[in-house]
């Protein structure tokens, strides 16, 4: 366990130093190299440990997305100082500091994300595209069974996400009202978004406490984007489906769910909005009682949908 903590502290420090080598950039290239190295190294190790074809494809696609949109296209091709796979509200500054790419970030934030999440579920962004989600699936793969299970975040954490979301709206409105030139605006943005949210919660807590609380700490307890995406996903087409006639209530799926969803005790067709579609519960279920679907399940959502292809 001590070895795990030391590894995570070292990785956090590596990320922290790489960011601060070029503080004038939102996501500096050095940080891009560090993150991409982590994705590839830990992603390769995680890829080897899983057997479900869906999960193997997930690793290939999500790492390729990072290499292309987090690194190659923005930094090497178009010489932009921000990754292309980030969006409002997690990175509100893309709407006022993105220069010529404002249209890109606006479309990604307000059109692409809602549409793909509605069609394919929260996994479309949180597992395949978001860099923090991909770090959780790669670096955090060995810590899926750690932390509390089958327990939704307390109302306090949900309220915190709403507070961050409201703050993001306030900062965005202020930025478009011309306040970005004010020193107080820059200072407040630095304290709230850079120091508290990103450095402390999204990086330090999310990485260093993995051996204690499991992977996806940020996604589960703090992410304001996850809050919005979860709401859309709940109304969308994605569902985790359980065949009640096969399930023997062993709880193995719950033990492996990094989002602490109560799959065992949950409904046969689960649209919690929290599921990030990692596929691990489907893989570990000894009775093959679980499947994921993006097909419309209308009327009475019966458990016999489980296990069928849609
Ligand atoms: S792992 Fe499978 S059999 Fe066990 S509780 Fe979960 S769905 Fe049921
Ligand atoms: S419910 Fe299954 S697919 Fe969804 S996040 Fe949990 S383990 Fe992953």
pLDDT of res. 24: 59
9-41 pLDDT, tens digit each: 999 999 998 887 765 565 567 888 999 999 999
Instruction: Supply the residue whose CA is at minimum distance from atom 4 of ligand 1.
Output: 250
Q: What is the mean pLDDT of each run of 10 residues along the chain (310 residues)?
A: 91 89 66 93 97 96 96 87 90 85 93 96 95 96 92 90 93 89 89 92 95 94 93 92 94 96 92 93 96 69 41
Contact 189, 171 (CB under 8 A): yes
* Cβ–ligand 1 contact at 6 (below 6 Å): no
* Cβ–ligand 1 contact at 289 (below 6 Å): yes
How far, in Å, from the CA of 259 to the mean position of ligand 2? 7
For ligand 1, what atom is nearest to the CA of residue 242?
A: 7
pLDDT of res. 304: 40
CATH topology of domain 238-305: Alpha-Beta Plaits (3.30.70)
**Predicted TM-score (pTM) above 0.95:** no
pLDDT of res. 305: 43
pLDDT of res. 300: 40
What is the strand order of the sheet 290-293 is part of? 269-270, 239-242, 290-293
The secondary structure of the chain in percent helix, strand, coil, rounded to multiples of 5, reads: 60, 5, 35
* Cβ–ligand 1 contact at 262 (below 6 Å): no
45-81 pLDDT, tens digit each: 999 999 999 999 999 999 999 999 999 998 888 888 7
Domain boundary assignment for the chain:
2-230, 238-305
pLDDT of res. 303: 40
For ligand 2, what atom is nearest to the CA of residue 279?
A: 3
Q: Within its chain, how far is the Cα of 69 from the centroid?
A: 16
């Amino acid at each position: 366990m001590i070895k795990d903590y030391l590894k995570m502290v070292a990785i956090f420090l590596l990320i922290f130093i790489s960011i601060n080598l070029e503080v004038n950039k939102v996501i500096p290239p050095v940080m891009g190299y560090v993150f991409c190295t982590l994705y590839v190294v830990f992603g390769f190790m995680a890829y080897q440990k899983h057997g479900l074809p869906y999960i193997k494809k997930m690793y290939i696609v999500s790492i390729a997305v990072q290499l292309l949109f987090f690194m190659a296209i923005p930094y090497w091709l178009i010489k932009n100082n921000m990754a292309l796979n980030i969006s409002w509200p997690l990175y509100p500054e893309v709407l006022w500091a993105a220069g010529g790419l404002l249209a890109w970030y606006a479309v990604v934030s307000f059109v692409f994300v809602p549409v793909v999440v509605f069609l394919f579920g929260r996994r479309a962004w949180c597992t395949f595209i978001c860099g923090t989600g991909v770090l959780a699936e790669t670096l955090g793969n060995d810590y899926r069974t750690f932390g509390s299970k089958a327990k939704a975040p307390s109302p306090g954490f949900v309220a915190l996400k709403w507070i961050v979301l409201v703050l993001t709206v306030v900062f965005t409105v202020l930025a478009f009202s011309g306040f970005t030139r004010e020193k107080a605006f820059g200072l407040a943005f630095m304290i709230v978004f850079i120091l508290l949210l990103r450095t402390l919660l999204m990086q330090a807590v999310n990485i260093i406490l993995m051996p204690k609380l499991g992977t996806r700490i940020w996604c589960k307890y703090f992410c304001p984007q996850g809050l919005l995406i979860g709401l859309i996903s709940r109304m969308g087409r994605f569902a985790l489906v359980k065949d009640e006639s096969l399930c023997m209530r062993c709880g193995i799926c719950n033990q492996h769910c990094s989002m602490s969803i109560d799959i065992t005790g949950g409904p046969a067709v689960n649209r919690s909005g929290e599921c990030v579609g990692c596929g691990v519960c489907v893989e570990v279920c000894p009775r093959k009682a679980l499947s994921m679907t993006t097909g419309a399940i209308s009327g009475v959502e019966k458990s016999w949908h489980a296990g069928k292809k849609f």
